[in-house]
């Protein structure tokens, strides 16, 4: 029996074949890459609708109605390509809030002057917060954003306690003291390095709150420590270190104690609102980040007519810059 010997491939011939095949191979890679980009775009919701929680009116604006949303939050989200649905604080049942949850792509809890427990704001926040956790555990992405009071509310919802401390932070623009976790964060990963540097060295973040979650209270609470990653802290004039930026480890939940939405859209002269160009960039990057998070959710209204009835476009902003801290507000009820 004769065994036929297989000849090894000739190096020169193999090289020529690879060279001849290379343009087709590169074209295939390019085609796959472009198709991957198209597939990625197809896997995103290109019509994100984000709910913004209203709150009861007070002070000089109480004469306008029962509840409101500051227009700067609406503009903040619209600047990055989202539409807004107001979440009313009166007249809706729990079932109606749940239906609304399944119609929107994310939710924003805004700043304000309401208690984080035993208020309609806290009750409705809890509904959306708990639903967001439930659907994420089932594989559905639903992002939550908290600003100022919204930040404080999230700490109460997660811990089950009011752990806030009085701080001297009612009207101060501050730089951020980043923790090492900022380099592993989802929130800041696409920020340019020079903008991150500016956030650390310039007073780009406006603080208008009387209560904060101190770093001590945060780290002493197991629920908070295990749920959120601290991204930045700040120090008040009494040397109380408080948490100023955080994001959840396992859930798309993000919160800032400061106000990125005010820099481009609020102009109260008695407030230390940073209007540096870098502060405007920070606002845009954060809005873009959160709206892109909402694009990962495909909740939607039952039809376009129902969607149209729910949008903020059905309400007219009112100028209140002469009597409140907001240039404009939407009167909801």
Provide the annotated active-site residues.
Answer: 148, 259
Q: Which residue, among 245, 208, 232, has the nearest Cα to 112 in the 3D structure? A: 208
The dihedral built from the CA positions of residue 21, 27, 30 and 32, taken in this order, carries a sign that is negative
Extended beta strands in the chain, E state: 49-53, 55-56, 67-70, 83-87, 106-109, 144-147, 165-174, 177-178, 205-212, 228-235, 241-248, 253-256, 317-319, 328-331
Both tokens of 239, joined, read: 């040397």
Burial class (CB in 10 A: 0-12, 13-18, 19+), 288: middle
Token look-up 């973040």 returns: 205
Place of tokens 């990057």: 285
CA 309 – CA 252 distance, rounded (Å): 28
For 79, residues 6+ apart whose C-beta sits below 8 A from its C-beta are 264, 283, 284, 287
Both tokens assigned to 134: 């439930």
Q: At what angle do helices 277-294 and 71-78 cross, to 10 degrees?
A: 70
Query: Which tokens in the block code for residue 167?
Result: 């701080």
Distance (Å, whole) CA 93 – CA 97: 6
Question: Concatenated DSSP letters for 124-172?
Answer: HHHHHHHHHHHHHHTT----EEEETHHHHHHHHHHHSS---EEEEEEEE
């Amino acid at each position: 029996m004769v065994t036929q010997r297989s000849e090894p491939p000739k190096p020169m011939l193999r090289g020529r074949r690879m060279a001849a095949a290379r343009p087709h191979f590169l074209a295939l890679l390019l085609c796959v890459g472009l198709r991957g980009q198209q597939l990625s775009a197809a896997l995103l919701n290109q019509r994100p609708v984000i709910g913004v929680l209203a709150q009861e009116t007070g002070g000089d604006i109480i004469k306008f109605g029962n509840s409101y949303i500051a227009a700067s939050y609406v503009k903040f989200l619209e600047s990055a390509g989202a539409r807004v649905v107001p979440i009313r604080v009166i007249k809706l049942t729990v079932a109606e809030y749940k239906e609304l949850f399944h119609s929107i792509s994310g939710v924003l809890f805004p700043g304000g002057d309401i208690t984080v427990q035993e208020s309609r704001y806290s009750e409705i926040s809890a509904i959306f917060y708990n639903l967001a956790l439930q659907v994420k555990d089932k594989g559905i992405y639903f992002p939550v954003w908290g600003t100022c009071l919204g930040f404080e509310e999230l700490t109460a919802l997660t811990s089950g306690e009011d752990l806030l401390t009085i701080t001297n932070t009612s009207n101060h623009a501050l730089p951020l003291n980043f923790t090492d976790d900022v380099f592993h964060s989802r929130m800041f990963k696409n920020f340019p390095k020079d903008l991150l540097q500016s956030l650390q060295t310039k007073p780009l973040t406006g603080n208008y709150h009387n209560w904060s979650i101190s770093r001590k209270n945060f780290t002493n609470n197991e629920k908070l420590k295990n749920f959120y990653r601290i991204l930045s802290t700040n120090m008040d004039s009494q040397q109380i270190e408080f948490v100023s930026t955080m994001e959840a480890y396992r859930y798309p939940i993000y919160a800032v104690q400061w106000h990125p939405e005010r820099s481009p859209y609020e102009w109260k002269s008695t407030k230390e609102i940073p209007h540096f160009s870098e502060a405007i960039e920070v606002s845009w990057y954060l809005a873009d980040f959160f709206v892109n998070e909402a694009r990962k959710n495909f909740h939607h209204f039952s039809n376009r007519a129902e969607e149209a009835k729910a949008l903020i476009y059905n309400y007219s902003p009112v100028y209140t810059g002469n009597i409140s801290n907001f240039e404009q507000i939407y009167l909801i009820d």
